[in-house]
Structure 1
Amino acid sequence: MIQNQFVGTWRLVSYELRGADGQLSYPYGPDTVGYLMYLPDGYMSVVIMSANRPKFAASDIMSGNIEERATAAKTYISYCGKYEIQGNKVIHHIEASLFPNWIAVDQDRFFEFTAEKLSLSTTPILVNGQQQTAHLIWEHV
């Protein structure tokens, strides 16, 4: 039986976007926090957020004015679903996502393993009106 190298919990080391012109950006800031989990039963989950997210004025989890909620959504992304490995790609079959346009959509991630790290990159995606590729490095926890 071949061991699935993906299985486990991964902590985000770096996340950058690269534009077609080579320009780099860091959508959640330099101190981005994230975890990625792949389970042996074929499910996965990921959460990525800015490390310095402002708190809501109230402690009620369902509270927040429009600005607070907009900032919270803009500084956070998560999704989960099943995954499958095909060649040099891991395909995330998204079942739930903060970004509703990704629900029931497959997201391809090109991967490479080096030592205890996993590198994932996307095909070009639209971010802030520009086609960019995301490049993420994860370390095994």
Structure 2
Amino acid sequence: MIKKMIGTWRLVGFRFMDSDGNPGREEDAPTGGRMEYTLDGHMATATRQANGDYFSYFGEFELKGTQVFHHIELSAHSKLEGTTTVRDVSFEGDNLILTASPPVMGGPGSKASLIWEKI
């Protein structure tokens, strides 16, 4: 799976479900972004939120089974620096789907999936 992940990705979709399984509001969805995974284990990502704010971080990554671990070195949100985020990895066709449960910006029981297209 790691060879399929290596490269640069463009954000093409977003899905959010609250703890009751209800979809999130469209106005909360990120409106653009890029992510890059390198063969030597580095990663970087930046997304623009619907309100115009940017969210970004970079560091190293590890793939274990169907989960990717992002070891965050530097982030737009300093509270994330030195932490590790975990994303479930799947593919729909050629699109990379990264799912966080709970997401950075969501409550307990919620989950968010970012859908990425390789460029």
2:25 & 2:65 partners in 1: Cα distance?
A: 28
User: Does the 8 Å contact 1:9/1:35 carry over to 2?
Assistant: yes
Cα distance, 1:106–1:115 mapped onto 2, change above 3 Å: same
Residue 35 of structure 1 pairs with residue 3 of structure 2: no
Q: TM-score, normalised by structure 2?
A: 0.85
Question: In the alignment, which of 79, 84, 90 is matched to residue 106 of structure 1?
Answer: 84
Tell me the residue number matched to 1:96: 74
User: Does the 8 Å contact 2:15/2:23 carry over to 1?
Assistant: yes
User: Does the 8 Å contact 1:121/1:133 carry over to 2?
Assistant: yes
Tell me the residue number matched to 1:5: 4
1:51 & 1:19 partners in 2: Cα distance?
A: 18
TM-aligned CA deviation for residue 25 of structure 1: 2.0
Q: Which segments of 5 or more consecutive residues in structure 2 lack a partner in the other structure?
A: none
Tell me the residue number matched to 1:50: 49
Q: Which segments of 5 or more consecutive residues in structure 1 lack a partner in the other structure?
A: 54-74
Task: Provide the aligned C-alpha RMSD in A.
Answer: 2.3
Residue correspondences, number = 118
| Letter paired with 2:23 | L
1:31 & 1:106 partners in 2: Cα distance?
A: 21
Cα distance, 1:26–1:138 mapped onto 2, change above 3 Å: farther
SS at match of 1:101: helix
Tell me the residue number matched to 1:134: 112
1:45 & 1:28 partners in 2: Cα distance?
A: 24
- Deviation by residue 1:12-33 (Cα, 9 ceiling, x = unmatched): 0112321101222257645710
User: Does the 8 Å contact 2:30/2:50 carry over to 1?
Assistant: yes
Q: TM-score, normalised by structure 1?
A: 0.73
